[in-house]
Each structure stands twice: as structure tokens, then as C-alpha cells.
Amino acid sequence: MLAGVRDRRPGPDARVVGRPRVVAIAGWSALLAIGVFGLVGRTGAAAAVVSALFALVGGFGLVAALRLRAWVGGAEVYSRTLRGYRPVVRLDRLTDAYLTPFGADSGRQLRLRDADGTRVELDATNMRIDRLYAALAQHIRHDDDVANDLLQRRLARYRPDFPLGPG
């Protein structure tokens, strides 16, 4: 490992805190199946093009969803996407934690940035990250301005009453 560069792969003590949602896997699989059935059916050229597009998008989405993972090892968050392992973010040095709302053309994203400037974006739509919220709740106080309101409301379910919670 190079000096000053953290390994992006989780260690043996890291626990999985984010996996693909079953609904996401089913949805991408259904899209892939629609495309494949359209291609094997005896249809016209236009239907074959549309079916190929469905199969391509469904296959890409399925593979991308199956690669999604997040781990927490100590105070570090490790993550993996289709493009490989992402930079490691330290929970004890968070400067910004932002949960995006659903948009007309985008799903929910969890964006984390630490004091070193390391940024990571996790797909909160296709990945089940309840355990990550629990880990974040241990490091982000209820009155801390590191997290936006949407994330603070989500973390309230996982936060103990004392010493981090109100009271």
C-alpha cells in the first residue's frame, strides 16, 4: 500500500451494512426478462430493437445492483459499485452527510464526505442500508449540522436516547 493511501477493500473485521434490495433485483430481472422474451418472440424489427434495449438496460442494472455492497470496519465506511471499490470515508471525521430526496429522474442517494475531502455516494434506492444508518447514528448527534434534515429524520429511528439523542 502506498504511503498516505488507505486500502479501499474492507478488512476481515468489517461488517456488511449495505446489500442490494430484493425489490431492485426483482425489478431489474423483470426488465431483463421482458427484453429477452421480446427478442425470442417472432416480432418485427422495431419490436426487436425495443426488446434489445430493454434487455441491455435490464442486464446492466441487474449486474450493477448485484455488485452493490457497503461495509463498516471500525469508523470507516467501505463501498463497492460496478466500477469497483470506492474511497474509504471515516465516520468519526464526517464533515457532510446528505440524503437526497427522490427526484423525477433520480433515486435516493446518500452522500458522505470526511475531513480529508474523501467523498462517496451510495445508492440508497437500490441498496438496503439500514445497518449503515445505525452506524451513522452512533457518530452524528441529533443537533449536529453535519447531516441534512432528511437524513436526521432517518437516523432518529436508530439513535439511542442518551447521550446522542434528545433528553
- pLDDT of the residue at 18: 94
Q: Give me the domain span that covers residue 75.
A: 70-155
Burial of 10 (0-12, 13-18, 19+ CB in 10 A): buried
In the predicted model, is pLDDT for residue 163 greater than 60? no
| 99 and 30 together in one domain | no
Number of domains composing the chain:
2
H or E element, residue 24: helix 22-40
| 99 and 116 together in one domain | yes
- CA torsion 99-102-104-109 (nearest 10°) is 40
Contact present, 70 and 8 (Cβ < 8 Å): no
In the predicted model, is pLDDT for residue 5 greater than 70? no
Contact present, 8 and 85 (Cβ < 8 Å): yes
d(CA 144, CA 12): 31
In the predicted model, is pLDDT for residue 47 greater than 60? yes
| 150 and 85 together in one domain | yes
- pLDDT of the residue at 4: 41
Nearest of 136, 1, 125 to residue 65 by alpha carbon: 125
| 59 and 101 together in one domain | no
In the predicted model, is pLDDT for residue 2 greater than 80? no
Question: What's the mean pLDDT when you consider all of the chain?
Answer: 88
Burial of 111 (0-12, 13-18, 19+ CB in 10 A): middle
| 35 and 49 together in one domain | yes
41 domain residue, yes or no = yes
Residue range 20-42: average pLDDT? 92
Nearest of 126, 123, 124, 158 to residue 141 by alpha carbon: 158
Domain containing residue 100: CATH number: 2.30.29
- pLDDT of the residue at 1: 42
Between 15 and 159, the more confident residue is 15
| 59 and 78 together in one domain | no
Between 122 and 46, the more confident residue is 122
Between 117 and 163, the more confident residue is 117
In the predicted model, is pLDDT for residue 77 greater than 70? yes
- Provide the grid cell at 167: 433528553
In the predicted model, is pLDDT for residue 74 greater than 80? yes
- pLDDT of the residue at 70: 95
* Residue count of the chain: 167
